[in-house]
Every structure is written in structure tokens, then in C-alpha cells.
Structure 1
Amino acid sequence: MKITTIGIDLAKNVFQLHGVDAHGEAILKKQLKRDQMAAFFANLPSCLIGMEACSSAHYWARKLQGFGHTVKLMAPQFVKPYVKTNKHDAADAEAICEAVTRPTMRFVPIKNVEQQAVLALHRVRQGLVKARTAQANQIRGLLSEFGLILPQGIAYLYQRVPVLLDEANEELPGAFRELVQRLLGHLKELDRQVGELEVQIQTWHRSNALSRKLEKIPGIGPITASALVASIGDAKNFANGRQLAAWLGLVPKQHSSGGKTNLQGISKRGDTYLRTLLIHGARAVIRCAERKRDAQAWLHRLIGRRNKNVAAVALANKNARIVWALLAREREFRSDYVAA
């Protein structure tokens, strides 16, 4: 019998396969090691392959597509309901094989090498920023134990720490002063690395027409624009702007029953990094709008009746929809645009 559909449970070294024929009968249950995967699928007739969108999934999707197979990725939470028994590799592979054939299943677009490379820059930058913040807080905490208090902001650390150490030279042990100087040097190194990665991201941004197009939207800069373009890929995978906003977790979470609609806070699904960038950009727009009364009338009315945090999320939602319109319909951003 010919295998028509295969579910693959990805792992580091041992991969579990579950294959069925056109009638849904299981005719393949097999474990493969990493170095056996390419040879096995290169000699297999073209079929539908399903995988969870997890670590190394995009690499294997591109690899198997090169062998002529149709590959679809799914979010793990959408596969979980199809697990019929206790969790193990064989049950997971069978669930993936079942889920990939569902007509209402939602699939994850496969990223190309360039998209993954740009997102890797963003992820490493995000980790370095987190480490920089932790290092700055550690320096503040250590100095506060000796009564040396610093204002908020990393710039104050560079300016005030050497001065405070000189002023309290006789009160602080030499070993502690050396320790703080060592931590301050580490902080400067982290700051330098963050700056270098931001230069690389901006270089890619300037070379990408779609990223430059998104930069024109208020609240979206080079960092946010490049992350959106690399993550979204083909915006036509989304039917409308609301689907993109929902994918980013910027729409209300719903808990309704018996015809009674109950809308709660935002769902916070999808990519936390993208959602954070959009909301922070919206906060910057709101700060500027408060100083310029001739700015967006819609935004001023919203700020007047709702909390600023609610307004920031609403503006981030609106920007996500604008992003979809610019990418999917190949339009340019116009600040004076009015809907018909």
C-alpha cells in the first residue's frame, strides 16, 4: 500500500514516524535516527508530511520539501487534542498524522533561511538586553547595601558609579571596589554587543523594501519592522488584518456560553516578542500625541475615555491590521488615509 500521510515527532536524535494509506490504515510505525532521515525520505514517494512547529521544524520542512514532499507545520497546542492515550513518541506521531489531515487545521508558514537568520539576531539581542538589565540591577543592589543610591537608567551607572566609588574610597573595601568595576566593565561589554547587533538588524532593514515600508507607520521602527517582516513572511496566509492581530495575541480572550458573550483581556497568544515591540511602540506614540493636540483624533478620544495601557494595546492592534494591509495588498502607508 502507498503511504499518503506521515506524522513525524521531532526530537534531537531519534525521530518517530507514523504513516497511513489513503484509507487511514496505519502501515508505517518506525523510529529513525537523525542521520537516517534524509536517506529514508529521499527514496519515499511524494506524500503529505505533518510536524509540530518546534525546534528544527523549519529546517526539516525545507529539507523534506526539497525531496518533493508536501510539508505542513502545526502549533503543538492544536495537536494535543488528537493524542488518544498516554504521552509517548509513538502516540505523538500518530496524533500529528491525524491532525495534519483535518480540513479546519491551522498551519504555520515555513520560514526560509533569511527569515530565520534575522530572527536569530533578534533573539540574541533580546537575551543580551535581558542580561544587561540584570547586570545593571545587580550593580544597583550591591551599591545600595552600602548606602549608595543611583537614579534609574543605565546611563546613570556609567556616569555616577566611578564618581561614587571615588567619593567613598575610604569607606569601601578595595575588593568591593574592584568587584563593582569588574561588573561595570561587563555591563559595558553587554551594551557594546547589543549595539553591534542593532547595527546588523538596521542594515538588513535598509536592504529590505517591505521592512522600510512598515517603518513609516507611527510606533514601528527598524527593530519592530524587521521582526514583523521576518516572522510574518507571506501576509496573504492571513485572511484579514484581524487574523494577524489574533495571531499576535492582541484581540480579546473570549469565554462565552449559552448565547452570553463574555470578552476578557487580550489573549496573549503567539509571539510575545512581537507583541511587546508593538505595544511599546504604541506607548511612544501616545506620549507624543499627548504633547501634540493636532495628532490622531481617534487616539485622543480613546485616551480621554480609557486607561493608557488599554489605549496602547488598541493602537498596537490597529498597527497590526495596518501591517497586514500594507503587506497583503502591496500598498504604501498614508497618514491621511480615510476609509471609504
Structure 2
Amino acid sequence: MEHDSALYVGLDVHKDSITVAYAAGSGEVELFGKIGTTQADIDRLCKRLQSKARQIRVVYEAGPCGYSLYRQLVQKGFECMVCAPPLIPRKPGERVKTDRRDAVKLVRLVRTGDLSAVYVPTVEDEAFRDLARAWVSAKDDMKRARQWLKAFLLSHGVRYTGRPDWGPAHRRWLSAFSFGNLWQQLAFDELRRTIEDHLAQCGRLEAALREAVLDWRFYPAVLGLQAMRGVQFTTAVGMLAELGDLSRFAHPRQLMAWLGVTPSEHSSGNKRRLGSITKTGNSYARKLLVESAWSYRHPARVSPEIQRRHEGIPKPIIDRAWDAQVRLCRRYRKLAARGKNANVTVVAVARELAGFIWDISRLAMSLAVPREVHAQCNT
């Protein structure tokens, strides 16, 4: 039997089970029960729900299970929302948490519109993001392996007299060094071999990423962002892979808030109190943003490296990147002259840098990029 009123469905999703609750219109919330997570279980659930109403709105919390369930439900014709768990309202003193309670709570909150949806990337964007994250993880593993080798050498009183920057000279010294004890030499060789393996893995992933980005729909934005100071290929790809479609932000302040670089606030009456930044949203994108902002502590100029990246880029993007450099360098000097801490100053610059990233990305997507510029990412 079909009803005209909307059906609100809340799902508490786990690896092996899904707890389902629903409510028809403004009626009481009912518990459907617990189902499995296989395709057949989802199909049976969809048939049962479709027999109850024409319009069905489903919500579940973002978690480690990803967005496959979201795509299955959308394909079935349902309205689906993946909500942000930290932004779910919670009553003070609420101490009991179960799967049933969570499912019922989601139904009530989606009916009143008190949930905040997360951005669900397309299948292609998610695949590119997975590749970019694999590259980042490989670089982190290599960094940890290098730290372990340095700590191992330091614990045995072995010090490199030059600059330990893992350049050719440093690596030649490591390959020629040996311990007198056989067991220590075995441990040293394994640590050194681990670094070489991670280095080769990083090279393979970077080559795959540079090849894949040529066919990515946000490739014009990758080129446009590299026209800015402090934004190279690593930063541009990593940030856009995490941000996704920037057109979903109607104003740059929304992007700043999503990155967590806006100040927290606790105001009451005539008193306005601003605190540290919120640090919400994607931590890796915020890290890249702050690292890029450090380059604006120097006077504004176009280095040969930046000039090389400008080749073939439309002039409006280059002009906007120069405007950003002039403004942000001046901003850093003004805050530093007022005695602000360097870290506080850089975060303030990073907040404005996010606005320029929003503007240049949208500008780059709207302008045609010559095909010959595409070779820049492979250099």
C-alpha cells in the first residue's frame, strides 16, 4: 500500500549489519530491525521501503564503510544523505548509545532538518583521491623509515659530518658505511633496504598520479593553482583531491570554515571573544594550506620556478596569482610588525590564501587551458 507522505529512514551502518528505523511523515518512529550488508539485503530493504511510500529520504552517518551504500540507494531512486557525525546534535547528559537509539535519532533529526550533509565525491574523484592518498601514505612511510635509520645510527654514536638531507652524497655514505658486528650490520641493511623500497614505491605512485591527473576533470584547476606562490604540484593535487568540487562553496568563507582555519567564537551580549581556529574539516588539506602560507613571509616576487609554471597559463589567472602574492606578503608583514606570533600570522595568511584558492580554481575551470600546458605536470 502506497502513501503520499514522505518516509524518513535512519540507518546505523556497521561492517556486518545495518539497523533500520523509519517514520511516515510526522508519525511515530518505528524500528524496522537489523539487516545484513550484502547487495541482496539492500535490495530487499529497498523493496520493503518502496511499498510504504513514494518519496523516501534515507540518512546515515559518514564512517569507514564509505559511500557505496549511498550510491546503491541513489541508484534505486531514493533521496539519500550522508551526515557528518561531529555535527549531530546531542542532548546534555545523554549517556546511553545503542544502534537502535542511533537509528531512531537519525530519523527524528532528518525530519526536522537538523543534520549537516557531507560532500559525496563522484566515483572518478574518489578513485583519484585514493591514488593521491596512497602517494601521501607512501611518503609518510618513507619519512618514518628514514627517522628509524637516523635513530639507529645515533644510538650507536654514528654521525654524518655533512648535511643529512638524503641527497646523493648522503646516500653514498650510507651505502658505504658498515658495522663491525654482523648482527648490527644485518639490522642496518634491512633499515636501509626499507628506505629504498619506499623510495621506489613513491616513484611509482607519483608517476601514476602525474599520468592520471591529465585525464582528471579538475586538471585545469591543478594548473591554475600552480601559478600561485607556494603551491606546487604536490600541494595542488593533494588539496584538490581532498576538496573535490569547489563550486559547492558559494562563498570563500565557506571554504575557510570547511578547512577549519576560521577562529572559534564565544560571544555573549556586547562582548565578542575570538579563540583559536576551529580545526574542523580535512586535516591534510589544512596542513597543505598552512605549509603554502609560510612562503608568503618573504617579499613578493616571481621566481624562475614560478615563471616556468606560468608558461601557457591564461593571463587572468597569472594576474590573480600576483594579486594574491602582493596582498598576502603585505598581510604577513603587517601582522608581524604588530608583534603577532609567527604561527598565528601564518594561519591568518592561510585563511586568506584559501579565498584565493577558491577564486583561482573557479577561474581556471571556466577558462580554456591550452593542450601544450599539460606537459608541465610531467616535468
Q: For residues 238 and 82 of structure 1, what CA distance do their matches in structure 2 show?
A: 30
Aligned residues of 1:210 and 1:327 also touching (Cα < 8 A): yes
Which one of 136, 149, 155 corresponds to residue 159 of structure 2? 149
Comparing 134-143 with 196-205, greater Cα deviation is found at: 196-205
Q: For residues 188 and 301 of structure 2, what CA distance do their matches in structure 1 show?
A: 40
Change (3 A) 1:177 1:40: same
Q: Using the TM superposition, give the Cα deviation of residue 42 of structure 1 relative to its aligned residue in structure 2, in angstroms.
A: 4.7
Q: Per the alignment, in what secondary structure is the counterpart of residue 278 of structure 1?
A: helix
Aligned length: 327
Q: Per the alignment, in what secondary structure is the counterpart of residue 88 of structure 2?
A: helix
Q: For residues 95 and 56 of structure 2, what CA distance do their matches in structure 1 show?
A: 26
For 1:172-198, what per-residue CA distance to the aligned partner results, in whole angstroms no more than 9, with x for missing partners? 312212221221111011011112212
Q: For residues 204 and 245 of structure 1, what CA distance do their matches in structure 2 show?
A: 28
Q: Is residue 160 of structure 1 aligned with residue 176 of structure 2? A: no
Q: Residue in 2 aligned with 1:55?
A: 64
Q: For residues 232 and 201 of structure 2, what CA distance do their matches in structure 1 show?
A: 20
Q: Residue in 1 aligned with 2:230?
A: 219
Q: Using the TM superposition, give the Cα deviation of residue 290 of structure 1 relative to its aligned residue in structure 2, in angstroms.
A: 8.8
Q: Residue in 1 aligned with 2:17?
A: 14
Aligned residues of 2:230 and 2:295 also touching (Cα < 8 A): yes
Q: Residue in 2 aligned with 1:302?
A: 332
Q: For residues 24 and 239 of structure 1, what CA distance do their matches in structure 2 show?
A: 35
Q: Residue in 1 aligned with 2:33?
A: 30
Comparing 6-15 with 32-41, greater Cα deviation is found at: 32-41
Comparing 15-24 with 299-308, greater Cα deviation is found at: 299-308
- Within 5 Å, which residues of 2 pair with 1:172-183? 172-183=180-191
For 1:196-239, what per-residue CA distance to the aligned partner results, in whole angstroms no more than 9, with x for missing partners? 21222222333323332333232222233233333333333323
Q: For residues 214 and 151 of structure 2, what CA distance do their matches in structure 1 show?
A: 40
TM-score when scaled to structure 2? 0.77
Aligned residues of 1:248 and 1:270 also touching (Cα < 8 A): yes
Q: Which amino acid aligns with 1:100?
A: V
Q: Residue in 2 aligned with 1:128?
A: 138
For 1:273-321, what per-residue CA distance to the aligned partner results, in whole angstroms no more than 9, with x for missing partners? 11111111222343574998x9625414523424433333223222221
Q: Per the alignment, in what secondary structure is the counterpart of residue 81 of structure 1?
A: coil
TM-score when scaled to structure 1? 0.85
Which one of 287, 294, 317 corresponds to residue 276 of structure 1? 287
Q: Using the TM superposition, give the Cα deviation of residue 37 of structure 1 relative to its aligned residue in structure 2, in angstroms.
A: 1.6
Q: Residue in 1 aligned with 2:77?
A: 68
Which one of 359, 364, 376 corresponds to residue 325 of structure 1? 359
Q: For residues 327 and 30 of structure 2, what CA distance do their matches in structure 1 show?
A: 63
Aligned residues of 2:261 and 2:278 also touching (Cα < 8 A): yes
Change (3 A) 1:174 1:237: same
Change (3 A) 1:107 1:219: same
Q: Which amino acid aligns with 1:299?
A: C
Comparing 271-280 with 154-163, greater Cα deviation is found at: 154-163
For 1:224-268, what per-residue CA distance to the aligned partner results, in whole angstroms no more than 9, with x for missing partners? 323333333333332310111110111112233343211122111
Gaps of 5+ in 2: 304-321, 369-379
Q: Per the alignment, in what secondary structure is the counterpart of residue 67 of structure 2?
A: helix
Q: For residues 298 and 248 of structure 1, what CA distance do their matches in structure 2 show?
A: 18
Matched residues, percent identical? 22
Q: For residues 325 and 259 of structure 1, what CA distance do their matches in structure 2 show?
A: 34
Q: Per the alignment, in what secondary structure is the counterpart of residue 49 of structure 2?
A: coil
Q: For residues 208 and 270 of structure 2, what CA distance do their matches in structure 1 show?
A: 52
Aligned residues of 1:74 and 1:107 also touching (Cα < 8 A): yes
Q: Using the TM superposition, give the Cα deviation of residue 158 of structure 1 relative to its aligned residue in structure 2, in angstroms.
A: 1.7
Q: Which amino acid aligns with 1:205?
A: V
Comparing 314-323 with 324-333, greater Cα deviation is found at: 324-333
Q: Residue in 2 aligned with 1:336?
A: none
Q: For residues 211 and 69 of structure 1, what CA distance do their matches in structure 2 show?
A: 34
Higher RCO (C-alpha 8 Å, min separation 6)? 2
Aligned residues of 1:51 and 1:73 also touching (Cα < 8 A): yes
Aligned residues of 2:298 and 2:329 also touching (Cα < 8 A): no
Change (3 A) 1:140 1:105: same
Aligned residues of 1:115 and 1:231 also touching (Cα < 8 A): no
